[in-house]
Structure 1
């Protein structure tokens, strides 16, 4: 019997720290953007697979 997930709750905590690192913070922003883009791609793949069922 397959399991169907109807709701998914995600809770996160974000601690913002002042940017005092200069150039390193720019690298963190690009890394964060890459991580977000990868996550969005994965979610879209999952949703596409669900449509095919």
Structure 2
């Protein structure tokens, strides 16, 4: 019997310094890979938006 998850809470802590074990973020498509914090934030936001859109698409297909 499948289990349906109705709500999923995810907490994320983002620090400016980062850690040595953290993998570098990929630049968004069509953008230049920069070293600035804004480029990393833009890449993170683009990745989160893409994942949310994928989830919404899957929900609409049901």
User: TM class, shorter-chain normalised?
Assistant: 0.5 to 0.7
Q: Which structure 2 residue ranges, 5 or more long, are not aligned?
A: 18-34
Between the two structures, name the one with larger relative contact order (CA 8 Å, sep ≥ 6).
Answer: 2
* Runs of 4+, deviation exceeding 3 Å: 14-17
Cα RMSD over matched residues? 2.0
Distance 2:61 2:9 in 1: 23
TM score, norm. by length of structure 1: 0.59
TM score, norm. by length of structure 2: 0.53
* Structure with the larger helix share: 1
Bigger Rg, structure 1 or 2: 1
Aligned residues: 45
Q: Which structure 1 residue ranges, 5 or more long, are not aligned?
A: 18-23
